[in-house]
């Protein structure tokens, strides 16, 4: 026994100082640059939130207009990137295609690395704009449909939904997709942001850091939880089966996807906001989506009774997101594209901030193997 303190999963370890986002896990509060998520979701737009996160201030009217125009100018993709999507998207996981296309985007930047903050903000704007177009193009290709070009009369998230589904969203869906983008824009040093930070700490470029973020987002313990949650709701099938399903799962020590969080030990404020939208569509959609909504709302009640106050396991943002995505015409295999398209701004902001006082990440591990073994030539090995 060496007595080294192992921080498994880096739980409880602070890795940097940051002014981007505060997650108050005890109180269930979330702030971007000091503004609470409830206000941003209700009163702001995704473009404005991107500006806030990148520039650390709310924009004036003219600043926001110029920022939105820049985003629009950067929406299109080169022929080469579109070819990558067409060749890969049908068979690959959406995030695998996204990170490959993102690597290709960097090839068009003659100087991918810069130490200059304003240069990196311009790169971030480019990355945010193109990520939405890539994500939507992946969705279209997966469904065997034509890729839709960006429509510059539409705002960022509205245009994303249009390019993905082929339908211009009505007012209700335009607000809902924008709220989804706002809620997923940033969340301090979670796994994918940490992945991006590890990559950037080597002074690799911002594109490489975003690719690392995208790769890390993929798993069901992080970005994949919304898809896993909706798959679970589909397998429950009928709202009347929900209680039995949950009790059997918990008795078998199975996790219920979309519940629990490393930091939130109270109700995730993003989930609270989404629950209000779910209440609004409850009973107002097609039969299969109405069923998912009922299952989600029933499961929430049961899980809070079983594990909420007693174990601090509450719904997280991923639990209610799935039925709402389905309501907007987004299929489960595409959920990750919404998450990664929105979170790109958070990854970029963290990278830019980290480079102001960069320190290479190089943790230690406690070696538990042997040493000084005798090397035996291959012919003599038994």
Catalytic residues: 222, 261, 318
For the bound state, the minimum distance from the C-beta of residue 32 to ligand ACO, rounded and expressed in Å, comes to 15
- Of the pair 174, 316, the CB lying nearest ligand ACO is at 316
Q: Convert the chain into a string of H (helix), E (strand) and C (coil).
A: CCCCCCCHHHCCCCCCCCCCEEEECCCCEEEECCEEHHHHHHHCCHHHHHHHHHHCCCCCHHHHHHHHHHHHHCCCCCHHHHHHHHHHCCCCCHHHHHHHHHHHHHHCCCCCCCCCHHHHHHHHHHHHHHHHHHHHHHHHHHCCCCCCCCCCCCCHHHHHHHHHHCCCCCHHHHHHHHHHHHHCCCCCCCHHHHHHHHHHCCCCCHHHHHHHHHHHHCCCCCCCHHHHHHHHHHHHCCHHHHHHHHHHHHHCCCCCCCECCCCCCCCCHHHHHHHHHHHHHCCCCCHHHHHHHHHHHHHHHHHHHHHHHHHCCCECHHHHHHHHHHHCCCCHHHHHHHHHHHHHHHHHHHHHHHHHHCCCCCCCCCCCCCCCCCCCCHHHCC
CA distance 79 to 69: 22
- Of the pair 51, 194, the CB lying nearest ligand ACO is at 194
For the bound state, the minimum distance from the C-beta of residue 257 to ligand ACO, rounded and expressed in Å, comes to 5
- Of the pair 116, 247, the CB lying nearest ligand ACO is at 247
For the bound state, the minimum distance from the C-beta of residue 154 to ligand ACO, rounded and expressed in Å, comes to 26
Q: Which residues bind ligand ACO (CB under 6 A)?
A: 9, 221-222, 225, 255-262, 313, 316-318
- Of the pair 143, 222, the CB lying nearest ligand ACO is at 222
For the bound state, the minimum distance from the C-beta of residue 224 to ligand ACO, rounded and expressed in Å, comes to 8
For the bound state, the minimum distance from the C-beta of residue 317 to ligand ACO, rounded and expressed in Å, comes to 5
Of residues 261, 274, 361, 278, the one with CA closest to residue 314: 261
- Of the pair 148, 304, the CB lying nearest ligand ACO is at 304
For the bound state, the minimum distance from the C-beta of residue 146 to ligand ACO, rounded and expressed in Å, comes to 32
- Of the pair 132, 246, the CB lying nearest ligand ACO is at 246
Phi, psi of 208 (to 5 degrees): -60, -40
- Of the pair 48, 318, the CB lying nearest ligand ACO is at 318
CA distance 105 to 100: 9
For the bound state, the minimum distance from the C-beta of residue 267 to ligand ACO, rounded and expressed in Å, comes to 13
Of residues 111, 103, 110, the one with CA closest to residue 131: 103
């Amino acid at each position: 026994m060496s007595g080294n303190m192992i921080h498994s999963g880096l739980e409880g370890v602070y890795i940097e100082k940051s002014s981007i986002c505060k997650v108050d896990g005890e109180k269930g509060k979330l702030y971007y640059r000091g503004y609470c998520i409830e206000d941003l979701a209700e009163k702001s737009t995704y473009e404005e939130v991107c500006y806030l996160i990148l520039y650390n201030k709310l924009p004036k009217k003219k600043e926001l207009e110029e920022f939105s125009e820049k985003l629009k100018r950067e929406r299109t993709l080169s022929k080469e990137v579109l070819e990558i999507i067409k060749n890969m998207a049908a068979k690959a996981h959406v995030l695998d295609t996204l990170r490959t296309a993102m690597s290709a985007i960097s090839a068009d930047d003659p100087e991918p690395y810069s130490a200059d903050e304003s240069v990196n903000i311009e790169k971030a704007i480019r990355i945010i704009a193109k990520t939405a177009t890539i994500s939507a193009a992946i969705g279209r290709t997966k469904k065997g449909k034509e890729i839709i070009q960006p429509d510059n009369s539409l705002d960022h998230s509205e245009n994303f939904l249009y390019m993905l589904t082929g339908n211009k969203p009505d007012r209700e869906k335009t607000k809902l997709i924008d709220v989804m983008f706002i809620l997923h824009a940033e969340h301090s040093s979670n796994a994918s942001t940490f992945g991006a930070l590890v990559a950037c700490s080597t002074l690799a470029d911002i594109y490489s850091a975003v690719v690392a973020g995208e790769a890390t987002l993929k798993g069901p313990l992080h970005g994949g939880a919304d898809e896993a949650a909706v798959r679970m709701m589909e397998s429950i099938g009928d709202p009347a089966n929900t209680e039995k399903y949950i009790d059997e799962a918990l008795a078998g020590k199975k996790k219920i996807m979309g519940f629990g969080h490393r930091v939130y030990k109270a109700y995730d404020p993003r989930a609270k906001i989404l629950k209000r939208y779910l209440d609004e569509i409850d009973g107002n959609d097609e039969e299969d989506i109405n069923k998912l909504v009922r299952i989600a709302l029933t499961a929430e009640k049961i899980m809070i009774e079983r594990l909420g106050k007693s174990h601090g396991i509450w719904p997280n943002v991923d639990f209610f997101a799935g039925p709402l995505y389905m309501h907007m015409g987004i299929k489960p295999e595409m959920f990750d594209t919404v998450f990664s398209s929105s979170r790109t701004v958070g990854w970029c902001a963290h990278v830019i901030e980290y480079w102001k006082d960069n320190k290479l990440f190089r943790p230690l591990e406690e070696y538990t193997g042997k040493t000084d073994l005798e090397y035996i030539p291959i012919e003599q090995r038994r």
